[in-house]
Amino acid sequence: MTAAAAGGAIRLPRDLPERGREFTRRLRAWYRVHARDLPWRRTRDPWAVLVSELMLQQTQVSRVLLKYDEFLGRYPTLESVARSSSRRVQEAWSGLGYYARARNLHRLARTVVGGGGALPDEPEALRRLPGVGRYTAGAVASFAYGRRAALVDTNVARVLRRVFTRRTDPRTARGRARLWAIAERILPRSGAAVWSHNQALMELGALVCTARVRRCTICPVAAACDTRRADLARTTGGR
C-alpha cells in the first residue's frame, strides 16, 4: 500500500485498513470516558478554535487555561483583533510566550477581515493565512467545521509511530510524510467522528502514550500497537 509524497511513494503497513479501524474504534471509546473537560472542546466557533490551537502550540495546557477565556473576553471575534493594534494583542497574550503567535494572529485577523471576514473552512485555504501551518489548518477545519481533515502534532506523531510504524524516524521529511499519510488513511468517514477521533489522538498522546512514559498496561489501543508487541516479544524471548 502506498501514498503519494515528495520524493516517491510512501509505503504504508499492509494491514493498516483493518488495524486502523480497530485502533479508531478503541480510541474513541476510551475518549468518551476519559476526555478532559477543556473549554475549547465545548465550542465549534472557528475563531475560538483557532485561538486555542495557536495558544496550545509549545505551551502547556495548564498555562493556556489561565489565558484562554480572558483573551476571548477581550477579543471575542476576528474583527475585534483586526481593529486592535499588534502591541495590544501581544499585551493580552502576556504569559504565554512565543509572541510571534500573537503577531501572526493579528496579521491573520486583518487579512481575513480585509478579504470578507470569515475564516476559510478548508485546510488548503487556511494554510495560506499568516501563522497557520498544516497541523493548525487541519485542527480548525475538523474541530470548527467538521471537515474530514487529518492533523499531526508532536503527540499525534508519537502515537502513530509507536502504534503503526515504530521504525519510522519523525525527524526526517520522509518519516513525517509517512505519519501524515497514516493519519489521513485512518480518519473516520464522517466529520462528527473525525472531531472525536482527532481529539482522542491528541488526548492519548498527552495522557497515556507520553514522550517520557509509555503507559502500555492502561493503553486502550495496546492490542493494536507495534511497539507493545515488540516489547512483549522481547520479554517472552520471542515465544
Q: pTM score, two decimals?
A: 0.90
pLDDT of residue 8: 62
pLDDT above 60 (res 164): yes
Kindly state the percentage of the chain with pLDDT values over 90: 87
The single residue listed with the C-alpha cell 495560506 is 128
pLDDT of residue 1: 45
pLDDT of residue 5: 44
pLDDT of residue 233: 86
- Rounded to whole angstroms, how far apart are CA atoms 19 and 15? 6
pLDDT of residue 237: 65
Decide: residue 154, CB within 10 A, 0-12 exposed, 13-18 middle, 19+ buried. Answer: middle
As beta bridge partners, residue 47 has none
pLDDT of residue 238: 52
pLDDT of residue 39: 97
In sign, the C-alpha dihedral spanning 173, 194, 154, 111 is: positive
pLDDT of residue 6: 46
Active site residue 203: no
The predicted-structure confidence for 2-31, as pLDDT tens digits, reads as follows 444 444 688 899 899 999 999 999 999 999
- Rounded to whole angstroms, how far apart are CA atoms 227 and 232? 9
The predicted-structure confidence for 131-151, as pLDDT tens digits, reads as follows 999 999 999 999 999 999 999
Q: Which residue has the higher pLDDT, 117 or 193?
A: 193
Q: How many degrees, rounded to 5, is the angle at CA 150 between CA 186 and CA 200?
A: 70
- Rounded to whole angstroms, how far apart are CA atoms 54 and 113? 18
- Rounded to whole angstroms, how far apart are CA atoms 204 and 162? 12
**Mode of pairing for the β-strands spanning 10-11 and 2-3:** antiparallel
pLDDT above 70 (res 106): yes
List the catalytic residue out of 18, 53, 91, 184: 53
pLDDT above 80 (res 236): no
Average pLDDT over residues 162-168: 95
Average pLDDT over residues 155-169: 96
136 neighbors 144 (Cβ within 8 angstroms): no
Average pLDDT over residues 213-230: 93
Average pLDDT over residues 205-228: 94
pLDDT above 90 (res 99): yes
Which of the residue ranges 8-12, 120-124, 157-161 would you say has the lowest mean pLDDT? Answer: 8-12
Residues near 166 by beta carbon (within 8 Å), at least 6 away in sequence: 226, 227, 230
As a whole number, the mean pLDDT across the chain is 93
